Structure 1
Amino acid sequence: MARIGAELRRQDFIEATVKVIAEYGVANATTRRIAMAADSPLASLHYVFHTKDELFYAVYESLINMPQPTLEHVPAGATAAESVAQMLRQLVRWFAARPDLATAQFELYTWTLRNNPEMASKIYAVSGEATEQAIARFSGSQLDKAALTTISRLFINLFDGLLLSWSAHCDLERLEAETETACQALELLVASY
């Protein structure tokens, strides 16, 4: 049997955790169930991730980083307002095409907020920083730090609200219409700077 490197195994466990959380919820995402979903011995899971919190944080980091390449497709010459709105459209579409990831993200954040508020705060801060950096890349030097912080917070709130609403109504057409309304609001905010 060929040995699998720790980094590859790490990614297997992250993907298995997302599937298990999406199917069973965080409360039922046992390490045994996650190891089985990754087709790996339980000991390997505990070798790669020493604690469940460490595994859950890695999942959340992965959920923050996965869609980043999608955000690179903002049209050249777009204004900062158009760029930020396009980023929101693309991010919503990316997660809508991967409902298990959206479900896992909500489940995990809600569980973390209840069971490990310190980690929840850290996750929110990391999400905010990643969003600020992405917005800064596409808006150039048009926005100062205070504007970036305000815009990124609204961006995150709109994104989370859109996906939460969609998870309740499961209507992609409605999601697209609501996303367009959110993008208009975001464009107005960014243009005001």
Structure 2
Amino acid sequence: MARIGADLRRQDFVKAAINVIAEHGVANATTRRIAAAANAPLASLHYVFHTKDDLFYAVYESLFNLPQQALELVEAGSTPAETVTRMLRQTIDWFIENPAMARAQSELFLWTMRNNPEMTNRIYSVGISVTENSMSLAIGKKIDKTTVNDISRLVVQLFDGLILSWFAHGDPERLEEETETACRALSLFVSSIEDKTAL
């Protein structure tokens, strides 16, 4: 029987954790259940992830490249407003296509708020930082750094609100409509900043 490398096994455990959390909730996401979902021995999970918190943090790490991936789909020559709204739209589209990930992310975040506030702070700080860095690369030549950071935080807040709304009503089409409304508001905000910068 071929041995599976630690990196590949790590990915398997993260995917299994996402599915188990989405289906059973964080409280019922035992390491035994996650190992079974990954079709791996429990000892392997504990070898790759020393603690359950390490595994849960890895679930978030798998999301940290989403802002950059979303920006890679923005057409060259787009205005800052087009770039920012496309980023929000692409990220929401990704979560619509990956509902287990969306549910796992939200459930895990709420769980860590109650059970590990320090981890919650680290997750949110890294998420904001990654978004700011991606946004700075995309629009930083046209808008000052402080404003880029403000826009980045607004995008994260809109995203969080849209995902929470989706869980409440469960309708992907309604989520797309709500996303378009958020994008129009975001576009007006960024365009007004561009206009002031141009003066």
Q: Report if TM-score (shorter chain) is over 0.5.
A: yes
Check whether the contact 1:67–1:94 (CA below 8 A) recurs between aligned residues. no
Q: For residue 106 of structure 1, what is the aligned residue in structure 2?
A: 106
CA RMSD of aligned residues (A): 1.3
Q: For residue 8 of structure 1, what is the aligned residue in structure 2?
A: 8
The Cα offsets for residues 59-110 of structure 1, whole Å up to 9 and x where unpaired, read as 1111222564243110221111110001101110110111100000000000
| Deviation (angstroms), 1:143 | 2.1
User: Given the alignment of the two structures, is residue 48 of structure 1 paired with residue 45 of structure 2, yes or no?
Assistant: no
Q: For residue 19 of structure 1, what is the aligned residue in structure 2?
A: 19
The Cα offsets for residues 142-188 of structure 1, whole Å up to 9 and x where unpaired, read as 12221122111110110011111111212222111111111112112
TM-score of the superposed pair, with normalisation by structure 2: 0.93
Task: Structure 1: state its 5+ residue gaps.
Answer: none
Check whether the contact 2:140–2:148 (CA below 8 A) recurs between aligned residues. no
Q: For residue 196 of structure 2, what is the aligned residue in structure 1?
A: none
Inter-partner Cα distance in structure 2 for 1:14 and 1:87: 25
Q: For residue 80 of structure 1, what is the aligned residue in structure 2?
A: 80
The Cα offsets for residues 28-69 of structure 1, whole Å up to 9 and x where unpaired, read as 000000000000000000000000111100111112225642
Inter-partner Cα distance in structure 2 for 1:188 and 1:91: 19
Instruction: Report SS of the residue matched to 2:120.
Output: helix
Identity fraction in percent: 63
Inter-partner Cα distance in structure 1 for 2:57 and 2:51: 10
Inter-partner Cα distance in structure 2 for 1:104 and 1:152: 23
Instruction: Report SS of the residue matched to 2:63.
Output: helix
Inter-partner Cα distance in structure 2 for 1:70 and 1:191: 20
